[in-house]
Amino acid sequence: MSENDFGRGRVTGYLPPQQQSYPYYTQQPGTVLAPPPPPKKRGRAAALVSATAVAAALVGGAGGAAIVGLHGNSSAAASSTAAAQTVSGTTNTDVSAVAAKVLPSVVQVNVTTRQGEAIGSGVILSSDGKILTNAHVIDGAEGSVTITLSDGTKYQAKVLGANSTADIAVLQAQGASGLTAATLGDSSQLKVGEEVVAIGSPGGLQNTVTSGIVSALNRKLSDIGTGEEQSSPYDHTSNQTSNAPSYTAIQTDAAINQGNSGGALVDMQGEVIGINSALYSPSGTSAGSVGIGFAIPINDAKTIVSQIENS
């Protein structure tokens, strides 16, 4: 597989939040304050980046470590305070109830590669430890993969198979039993504007919950990033997208950051309707959520999982 989170966009060090300078105004009698000048417009250049955080040891004689696209201003806090109503309007369900149901079914995935450690997420498919994640999360894995349950329990896992075009992989936790399998929904029934919840490990912050809506359906990844520069999140050797996964995605404004890859996008009944996979980030900014995230429809994921299991 050629897909890897390393080099998805630019590799940068950890950046502290930028200090913003605000003008100080002194009110004088009879003085009308002029409004501050409008901010300069940024260029339209943009890049699609994967949603997996990677902590990689620097090589070539340079010591230290780097984090890919993890910005101090990224929003990764759980959103569980606002009450939400299902689309039918007949059942009231808040985000905290959805989170309580789904969190035990979402795991953190740690993968060791030659570049360092990749961090992603996964969804439990069976009580004996079958895990669904993105193919790019485990791309380049050397040795075993470690999965961590929401309660901190760790298992070693092996890769049962992967489809890089669909960006789907299946893992098997070794010696696992009694795990809480996720309830898989029907992504064909999704409607634009429907509320959804994203769960994963952005930047290694396990059990992070964010909420939003379905912003659009049937988004082709090739339509994303039409500015002067487009950087592929899947090929760490070039900006070409010929090796990129090819699937039609669910677009959501639920905050998805690097490390959410392979995690669950669920509806307000707590059913998984998508596998978080990518995010859109304007060029010139660090890779963080700007309210445009993408998930693989769960119906497509089911088909690929079945093919992997039967191959």
The pLDDT tens digits for 222-259 are: 766 544 333 333 333 223 344 556 789 999 999 999 99
- Set 5, 50, 136, 289: catalytic member: 136
2: closest CA among 269, 265, 310, 244? Answer: 244
pLDDT band at 280 (very low <50, low <70, confident <90, very high): confident
167 is catalytic: yes
> What pLDDT is recorded for position 143?
77
261 is catalytic: yes
Name the catalytic one among 50, 71, 164, 167: 167
Domain boundaries, the chain: 83-310
| Catalytic residue from among 261, 281, 283, 289 | 261
Does position 152 have pLDDT exceeding 50, yes or no?
Answer: yes
Q: How do residues 105-125 score in pLDDT, each as one tens digit?
A: 999 999 998 888 899 999 999
The CATH number of the structural domain formed by 83-310 is 2.40.10.120
How far, in Å, CA of 287 to CA of 54, rounded?
12
pLDDT averaged over every residue in the chain: 73
DSSP 54-81: EEEE--SS--SEEESS-BTT---S---S
Query: SS3 helix, strand, coil % of the chain, rounded to 5?
Result: 10, 35, 55
What's the pTM value of the predicted model, to 2 decimals? Answer: 0.70
What is d(CA 229, CA 46) in angstroms, rounded to the nearest whole number?
Answer: 6
Interval 93-99 mean pLDDT: 90
pLDDT band at 63 (very low <50, low <70, confident <90, very high): very low
